Amino acid sequence: MSMIIGHRGARNLWPENSLTGFRNLLDFPVEGVEFDVHLTKAGEVLVIHDPTLERTTDGTGRVADLSPGAHHSVVLKGSDGDTIPTLDEVLEIFAATDHEIHLELKTDADNLPYAGGLEERVLEAIDRHGVAARTVVTSFSHDVLARLKELRPDQRRLASMHLPEAERLGLEPGLRMLLDLADIIAIEKTLLSDNWATIMALVPADRLGVWTPNDEDELAGWLSRPLRQVTTDRPDLALKRR
């Protein structure tokens, strides 16, 4: 049976990457949660998807430029006053649960790995909260994944792939590269569907996941396939059709 992973908490149900969304996800019997982190120049690890504030908050500018503690005054759009959480705040929610934690390390506004040691800070945080054994560190960046592998070879890693990367690297060479960098490969749903036989021939089912189907019938179809995990913005619908 495929694991169901709540994407950015459950972003089609509550504001993405919000403490409200993460707390509400606990009411659903899903196996895992996914969220994203960025690093400020002051060294704070913040849970937010974009490297800039405009799309998901009432703020402007780069996440990296937030001064210490400023995230407490940046309100998430569509929320009842939720502000940008820190990694520690989110890990506190899941420390007492058995959820698998998919922690995505993002790159900066120039699509470069953060120079301030985001990888080290993330590993320190999951150790501090006692969740390293059930955390999967993830990234689109090969450099970030390689750094994580160097720092802690036994920490589980997930590499994400979408069409632009498959076109740039070639699907099969790209997958072979990712299989060396990561324990799990999560592939965008259209790319996976269109290349199912090729991908299944290269990637063992217990190392393969899909993101992010959200339609109820679409979810039913993916949940019937031999996959490790299905990452979705609608965990409620996924549970209904599993």
pLDDT at 182: 99
pLDDT at 58: 98
pLDDT at 106: 99
- Of 209, 37, 55, the closest CA to residue 125 belongs to 37
Q: 53-102, pLDDT tens digit by residue?
A: 999 999 999 999 999 999 999 999 999 999 999 999 999 999 999 999 99
- Of 55, 16, 50, the closest CA to residue 33 belongs to 16
Q: 146-172, pLDDT tens digit by residue?
A: 999 999 999 999 999 999 999 999 999
Structural class in CATH, domain 3-241:
alpha beta
* Full-model pTM: 0.98
- Of 25, 220, 37, the closest CA to residue 210 belongs to 220
Alpha carbons 209 and 230: distance in angstroms, whole number: 6
144 phi/psi in degrees, rounded to 5: -65, -45
pLDDT at 25: 99
Query: Across the chain, what does the average pLDDT equal?
Result: 98
- Helix, strand, coil: what percent of the chain each, to 5? 40, 20, 40
